[in-house]
Amino acid sequence: MSFSILNNKETILYPNSQFERRVILQYYLDNDIQIDEEERKILLECIAVEPESIGIIGCLLNDKTHLNTLRLAIGFMNKSNIKLANLATKYLEELSIEEADNYYYVEKGFDEFTDVEKDVESVYNIVYFPY
């Protein structure tokens, strides 16, 4: 099995490939691999419902969008993947979870969310507000 995002585009984008997707993403995280522009495009389209994968995607993208801030916040809360939690914490230092949260709860209507935003926001809610 190749651990390339580009060579496994279908696996990364297929909703039910959670395990295979996470193995590929974890390989990138563990080996400090920087994504290229084509891999970035694939990850921006990725609909993942698994908190760990969402957090890793946030770290690999490492951008300052509100959506990615929520991804990093999810990664920050991970208790079993120390590298993910530490990297997400580092990237969050310059960002505001509160601003991202307000953007999705106040400024942008749910009917305007993309499918990716719906899933990230849903997992964010589960991780931060479990009850």
**Of 121, 120, 100, 101, whose CA–CA distance to 45 is shortest?**
120
> Mean per-residue pLDDT for 23-33?
97
Domain ranges of the chain: 6-128
pLDDT in tens, 59-82: 999 999 999 999 999 999 999 999
Triad 72, 76, 82: Cα angle to 5° = 120
CA 62 – CA 100 distance, rounded (Å): 15
pLDDT in tens, 93-121: 999 999 999 999 899 988 999 999 999 99
Residues above pLDDT 90, as percent of the chain: 89
State the pLDDT at residue 1. Answer: 60
Which of the pair, 16 or 3, is modelled with greater confidence?
A: 3
